[in-house]
């Protein structure tokens, strides 16, 4: 979920999380993604990765990844209540580049996860 003024759906973060889930299952997201469900859609096919997008109010960013099975589910959520958390990350990344060779880097590099 994001604020009511956000114009894209799903968000880049949501798509990135979907890509990670697909990669973990060794499938292509484009082959298993379902971005909308409305009306009489029938049951969800096995292996499908669904996206539900909400927009409203002044929500900075709420993301939940849900792994649902019969009788149980696991949810991992991140809720940002201030854009300051993203600004801190951008500043950290900018400072990290000092003295680095020109190239393509990601936040995985900045955080030491690459």
Strands 33-34 and 49-50: parallel
Task: Please tell me which residue in 3, 5, 6, 78 is annotated as part of the active site.
Answer: 6
> In sequence order, what are the residues at sequence separation of 6 or more whose Cβ sits closer than 8 angstroms to the Cβ of residue 65?
17, 21, 75, 76, 77
88's enclosing H/E stretch is helix 84-96
State yes or no: is 6 an active-site residue.
yes
What are the residue numbers of the active site?
2, 6
């Amino acid at each position: 979920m994001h604020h009511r003024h956000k114009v894209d759906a799903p968000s880049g973060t949501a798509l990135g999380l979907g890509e990670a889930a697909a990669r973990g299952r060794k499938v292509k997201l484009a082959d298993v993604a379902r971005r909308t469900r409305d009306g009489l859609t029938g049951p969800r096919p096995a292996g499908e990765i669904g996206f539900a997008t909400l927009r409203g109010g002044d929500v900075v960013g709420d993301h939940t990844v849900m792994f649902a099975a019969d009788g149980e589910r696991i949810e991992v959520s991140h809720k940002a209540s201030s854009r300051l958390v993203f600004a801190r990350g951008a500043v950290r990344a900018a400072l990290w580049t000092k003295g680095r060779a020109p190239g393509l880097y990601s936040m995985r590099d900045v955080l030491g996860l690459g």
